[in-house]
């Protein structure tokens, strides 16, 4: 087996087994540069973003720009708050925001970033304390990308 293939396999496995989002560094792990919130036609870094929601029952939808979001991991659960991805990137109706140029092994290709919608739903919070829920979005990127986000629901 070629030494380059062995090194690539070891690097890929280390990316998979790292547990948290980290800023891009030489140690590997998750990278947080690839998931953005689309706000007023501007891209805002989604990682470490806190979404404030009112104490009333309801839901909000956020538009995100990223390669296909493949999973939502609940990091800090609240039984009263939930999050779900509404976009199916294999659908004919999916909206491509732009495409990123990628290269490797002497080849060049474009990878689409999609506008994807997530819905955050919450039951009414009749208590005085706020509730929080933290979740991680992961993408299909060859470089493991994610964004850890927090939802904070106000109390009455």
pLDDT tens, residue by residue, 22-34: 554 433 466 667 8
**How confident is the model at residue 3, as a pLDDT?**
52
Element at 70 (helix H, strand E): strand 69-76
**How confident is the model at residue 26, as a pLDDT?**
32
130 vs 31, which has greater pLDDT?
130
- Write down the mean pLDDT value for the chain: 84
Average pLDDT in the 51-62 region? Answer: 97
Q: Look at residues 156, 66, 147 and name the one whose alpha carbon lies nearest to residue 112.
A: 66
Least confident span in 25-39, 73-87, 93-107 = 25-39
pLDDT band (50, 70, 90) for residue 141: confident
**How confident is the model at residue 145, as a pLDDT?**
84
**How confident is the model at residue 5, as a pLDDT?**
47
Contact 17, 9 (CB under 8 A): no
SS3 3: helix
**How confident is the model at residue 146, as a pLDDT?**
87
Average pLDDT in the 26-50 region? Answer: 82
């Amino acid at each position: 087996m070629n030494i380059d293939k062995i090194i690539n396999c070891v690097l890929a496995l280390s990316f998979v087994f790292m547990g948290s989002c980290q800023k891009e560094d030489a140690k590997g792990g998750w990278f947080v540069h690839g998931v953005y919130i689309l706000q007023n036609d501007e891209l805002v870094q989604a990682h470490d973003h806190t979404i404030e929601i009112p104490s009333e029952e309801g839901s909000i939808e956020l538009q995100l720009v990223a390669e296909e979001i493949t999973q939502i991991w609940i990091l800090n659960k609240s039984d009263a708050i939930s999050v779900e991805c509404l976009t199916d990137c294999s659908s004919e109706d999916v909206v491509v925001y732009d495409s990123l140029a990628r290269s490797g092994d002497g080849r060049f290709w474009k990878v689409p970033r999609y506008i994807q919608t997530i819905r955050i739903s919450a039951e009414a919070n009749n208590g005085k304390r706020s509730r929080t829920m933290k979740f991680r979005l992961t993408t299909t990127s060859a470089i493991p990308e994610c964004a850890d986000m927090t939802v904070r629901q106000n109390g009455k």
